[in-house]
Amino acid sequence: MGKKKQKAAATPAIKQLEDAKVTFTTHEYEHSNDDADGYGLEAARKLGYDERQVFKTLMADTGDERVIGIVPVNGHMSLKELAHAVGAKKAEMADPKVAMRESGYVVGGISPLGQKTQHRTVLDESALEFDEILVSGGKRGLSLGVNPHDLLAVLDATTAPIATQKKSY
């Protein structure tokens, strides 16, 4: 006898999309602490999505403000390009403890949606190639499928070329 699939508990990320009346889908998977590929690549593989369509949420610090960058899980965020996109001289990755405190989420489950402290947000422009992208739903093992244009509107975000692709050998 199989387990009944339960509806995802409403996270602040889900609540923000529901409050904005945005159409989205929820995708749950069994998160493994043993996965060496990282949270985003694990999500793409377990959910059967193209790695370019699954996005991770990262927090950077420009010295003047913290900024959220959303990039595909198969690449990295260019701190130089992120800084350029927000008119800063430079950016560095925010301390994970700061990211968890200000977002209200744990590392590996940080969603761009429903954060405790709202930050300026930049979505990598490659997201616009898709009708739906996946972002964290606010906990490990939960992703949300959303149209990138809806995500931009809800977050009052901008797009820029902030991702660098991993080289494949």
> What local confidence, expressed as pLDDT, does residue 169 receive?
37
Q: Return d(Cα 87, Cα 99) in angstroms, integer.
A: 21
What is the per-residue pLDDT for 67? 98
pLDDT the model gives residue 76:
92
* Whole-number pLDDT of residue 10: 86
**Residues 57-93 as b or e (16 or more Cβ within 10 Å = b):** bbbbbbeeebbbbbbbbbbebbbebbbbbbebeebee
Note the pLDDT of residue 9.
Answer: 60
Q: How far is CA 151 from CA 56, 122, 139, in A?
A: 13, 11, 18
* Distance (Å, whole) CA 49 – CA 60: 26
Length of the chain: 169
Q: Which residue numbers in the chain have pLDDT < 50?
A: 1-6, 167-169
Per-residue pLDDT, 89: 96
Q: What percent of the chain has pLDDT over 70?
A: 89
5-51 pLDDT, tens digit each: 445 568 999 999 999 999 999 999 887 766 556 778 888 888 899 99
